Amino acid sequence: MTALLSVRPLTKLGTEILDFDIAQADEERLRQIDELYRRNSVVVVRNQRLSPDKLVAFAGRFGDLLPQTGEDQNLPGFPGICVLSNKIVDGRPFGFHKAGRRWHTDGTTLKKAGLTTVLYGIEIPPEGGDTLFADACEAFNSLPEDLQAQLEQVQVIHSLAYLMRRAHHRPELLTPEQRAAMEDVVHPLVLASPIDGRKTFYLTSGSARGVVGMTDEDGRKLLSDWIDYATQDRFVYRHTWQPGDVVIWNDVSTLHLATDFDDTKYERLVYRCWMTPFVPA
């Protein structure tokens, strides 16, 4: 199925595609990347050179591109691309700096779970700034069946307002549609992956305000304990970035964490796209 692509595994969680140029790829090879993504929670392709148009076209293969939430952090002219950067341009921050420094999952406040994220690294510090991915599916499947059955009864309350208060975002930046979408949503703690049907933890530290039937404090303690479990080293792939890296991941079966870099010495520029929800072909 993937005879045209050369790949190597990245722990159990993902795969790296070797010697591949997304911008020049024919439809058959691109279709094989789609298939690889359906079988791997994280896919890495290094040494890419993509215009914003090419990035949007590539990301759009994995679902419908979502408009990004912070309008002043979007790439001008590209509402589907959020800039993650510490760069200052014309005296103003060019992008969103210090994002994702806790274990979390993107898209948990959407009513329908199942986001795909693509990051494209353009300027990368020579040290620091790694992204860690935890295999939530492997973590859940490492548990005894009776405990799994108990956890499948847990319902988690996700709150965008709670997330924004914690992240010190400015609610006034939201559009009226985004504000209307700030109602709490409830997702099960255990979901079936839309890719392969395997059950997985659907965990995040960001938006999880509590658990149905528990005090918020007790609910968050329960979730925090399971995040600690699912993010043990044995479940984690650490991605050390190089300029030109494209990383695609499934936000149902993973948690991720951005690590710090020395922003007094280095600049970082990364583009992010979100596609929702992932629908198998």
**Interaction site with Fe ion (CB under 5 A):** 100, 106
Nearest CB to Fe ion, comparing residues 5 and 236: 236
Nearest CB to Fe ion, comparing residues 107 and 210: 107
Residue 174 CB, nearest distance to Fe ion (Å)? 18
100 vs 104: CA distance, rounded Å: 7
Residue 242 CB, nearest distance to Fe ion (Å)? 20
Nearest CB to Fe ion, comparing residues 30 and 99: 99
Residue 76 CB, nearest distance to Fe ion (Å)? 22
Residue 115 CB, nearest distance to Fe ion (Å)? 10
> Is-contact 247 119, C-beta < 8 A?
yes
Residue 104 CB, nearest distance to Fe ion (Å)? 6
40 vs 13: CA distance, rounded Å: 6
Single-letter residue type at 15: T
Nearest CB to Fe ion, comparing residues 47 and 178: 178
Nearest CB to Fe ion, comparing residues 106 and 245: 106
Cα Dmax for the chain? 58
Residue 173 CB, nearest distance to Fe ion (Å)? 18
Nearest CB to Fe ion, comparing residues 32 and 117: 117
274 vs 117: CA distance, rounded Å: 5
Residue 259 CB, nearest distance to Fe ion (Å)? 12
Nearest CB to Fe ion, comparing residues 7 and 119: 119
Q: What is the DSSP string of the chain?
A: --TT-EEEEETTTEEEEES--GGG--HHHHHHHHHHHHH-SEEEE-S----HHHHHHHHGGGSEEPPPS-GGGEETTEEEEEEEE--EETTEE-S--S---SSB-TTTTSSS---EEEEEEEE--SSS--EEEEEHHHHHHTS-HHHHHHHTT-EEEE-HHHHHHHHT--GGGS-HHHHHTTS-EEEESEEE-TTT--EEE---SSSEEEETTS-HHHHHHHHHHHHHHHTSGGGEEEEPP-TT-EEEEESSSEEEEEPP--TTT---EEEEEEEES----
Residue nearest to Fe ion (CB): 100
Residue 266 CB, nearest distance to Fe ion (Å)? 20
Nearest CB to Fe ion, comparing residues 220 and 272: 272
